[in-house]
Amino acid sequence: MAPPSDDSPPLPAGAISNLLIVIAMQTEALPLVNKFHLVEAPSNESIFPKGAPWIRYHGNYKGLHIDLVWPGKDPVLGVDCVGTVSAALVTYASIQSLKPDLIINAGTAGGFKAKGAGIGDVFLASDVAFHDRRIPIPVFDMYGIGTRKTFATPNILKELNLKVGKLSTGDSLDMSPHDESAIQNNDATVKDMEGAAVAYVADMFSTPAIFVKAVTDIVDGEKPTAEEFLQNLVAVTAALDKSVTEVMKDDVLELMDSP
Ligand code: ADE
């Protein structure tokens, strides 16, 4: 697999001082909140509009200001607001208010063993695309798929032990036959429920974004996806946190600044 695109220019030296981490699930978010000693922003001082369940934690880590946002829980059903709609909305609101220099979308993903993914592997996505936006009209078809190169981080790849692969995003945990062929067309190694939506919004506002995804389940394996996902969620989140922490090491972030 080729490393992420060299098309995007490196950020100028010292460019990263405001980092935004976008995470979909509380189970994925809380270990990072604790690790970086982030505190929850009080709801009466929220940057988010009244009524939005979105939650922001913030703090300083190694000279960097970090905001970590997650879309919170569905007010009626009480489950994490996973999926593209909530991810796009919270990313939009966060960019408007926080003006981050870099977004890290961190989370779990399903992996394809035929493409080299294993449980607990952590991937840095080279490209993102949607697999459930089928619009069979010329050009609309490409808009629906929405393929984007991610921000190039060759130094992070050199420094850290991450795999590289393409990420395909859709609003379902399981995989229909339609999704399967679209994911194959996207040449994806990992599949999630937020990445391409975060990328769409980040791109709209010219904010560099990277995608760190840890594999909880093997989509082309024997086990039922939901069962395998729930079984591995906590353990694999530890691998995700380790990788995100490594990306945040000051030498790695400095390396990101230089060509
Ligand atoms: N997150 C974790 N596993 C996933 C899967 N199989 N599909 C979509 N998102 C996921």
DSSP string covering 142-191: HHHH--EEPPP-HHHHHHS--EEEEEEE-S-SS--HHHHHHHHHTT-SEE
User: CB 91: neighbour CB atoms within 10 A?
Assistant: 28
Please name the residue whose Cα sits nearest to atom 6 of ligand 1. 110
Q: For ligand 1, is residue 192 a contact (CB within 6 Å)?
A: yes
CA quadruple 101, 51, 39, 83: dihedral, nearest 10: -60
Per-residue pLDDT in tens (0 to 9) along the chain, 259 residues:
333 444 555 565 567 889 999 999 999 999 999 999 999 999 888 999 999 999 999 999 988 999 999 999 999 999 999 999 999 999 999 999 999 999 999 999 999 999 999 999 999 999 999 999 999 999 999 999 999 999 998 888 888 889 999 999 999 999 999 999 999 999 999 999 999 999 999 999 999 999 999 999 999 999 999 999 999 999 999 999 999 999 887 556 665 555 4
Residue 67 falls in the annotated catalytic set? no
70-81 pLDDT per residue, tens:
999 999 999 999
6-45 pLDDT per residue, tens:
455 556 556 788 999 999 999 999 999 999 999 999 988 8
CATH superfamily of 18-257: Nucleoside phosphorylase domain (3.40.50.1580)
Which atom belonging to ligand 1 lies closest to the Cα atom of 192?
9
**Domains of the chain: which residue ranges?**
18-257
pTM summary value: 0.93
Q: What is residue 217's three-state secondary structure?
A: strand
| Mutation choice for ligand 1 from 119, 174, 212, 217, CB with most ligand atoms inside 8 A | 217
Q: Which residues lie below 8 Å from residue 217, measured CB to CB, with a gap of 6+?
A: 110, 111, 119, 223, 225, 228, 229, 232
Active-site residue (options: 121, 132, 179, 217)? 217
Q: How many whole angstroms separate alpha carbon 164 and alpha carbon 124?
A: 5
Q: For ligand 1, is residue 117 a contact (CB within 6 Å)?
A: no
Distance of CA 73 to the CA centre of its chain: 18
